[in-house]
């Protein structure tokens, strides 16, 4: 499995941790690469472009709250970034919304919670059916 991953400075340590835990994933690391202050849209756009181009099919974004980085990614056509702070939310984002980016709030979850959230996101599948028509209405 190949995933794009990106973060700002608040998400850097969690990004590096997740990469060390999920070693079976080929990570396309779009930055940032240190704790130095950076602008989250730069990394949200890099991950979103990676998915738009087909370089990867899904991604993970991490910032302090998960909000800003999701907002930036969701400006891209075909991107459905969802914030999750519980595994159930990550599963539902995939099952009902066909989310292709998981956004994590690094300042509000533990490393163990992050592992469970990522697992739930990766294991869940889009259910289609009644959800498909709703997903089709998302893009403007």
Q: What is the mean pLDDT of residues 46-61?
A: 98
**What CATH number did the domain enclosing 11 receive?**
3.40.1400.10
pLDDT in tens, 5-45: 999 999 999 999 999 999 999 999 999 999 999 999 999 99
For residues 6 and 132, the model is more confident at 6
Q: Predicted confidence band at 132 (pLDDT cuts at 50, 70, 90)?
A: confident
Percent of the chain residues past pLDDT 70, beyond the cut: 100
User: Is the model's pLDDT at 92 over the cut of 90?
Assistant: yes
Selection from 56, 41, 52, 51 nearest residue 8 by Cα? 41
- Give the C-alpha separation, 92 to 110, whole Å: 20
pLDDT score recorded for residue 59: 98
Give residue 124's domain range: 2-136
pTM, two decimals, is 0.95
Catalytic (active-site) positions: 63, 96
Judging by DSSP bridges, how do beta strands 81-83 and 101-105 pair with one another? parallel
Res. 69: pLDDT tops 80 = yes
Predicted local confidence at residue 61, as pLDDT: 98
pLDDT of residue 125: 97
Q: 48: which residues sit within 8 A by CB, 6+ positions away? A: 59, 72, 73, 75, 76, 79, 81, 101
| Number of folded domains that form the chain | 1
């Amino acid at each position: 499995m190949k995933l794009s991953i990106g973060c700002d400075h608040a998400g850097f340590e969690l990004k590096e941790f997740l990469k060390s835990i999920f070693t079976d994933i080929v990570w396309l690391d779009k930055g940032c690469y240190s704790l130095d202050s950076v602008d989250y849209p730069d990394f949200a756009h890099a991950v979103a472009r990676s998915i738009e181009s087909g370089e990867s099919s899904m991604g993970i974004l991490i910032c302090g709250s998960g909000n800003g980085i999701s907002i930036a990614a969701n400006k891209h056509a075909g991107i459905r970034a969802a914030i999750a702070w519980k595994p159930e939310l990550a599963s539902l984002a995939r099952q009902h919304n066909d989310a292709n980016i998981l956004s994590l709030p690094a300042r509000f979850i533990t490393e163990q919670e992050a592992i469970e959230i990522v697992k739930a996101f990766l294991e869940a599948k889009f259910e289609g059916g009644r959800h498909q028509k709703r997903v089709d209405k998302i893009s403007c």
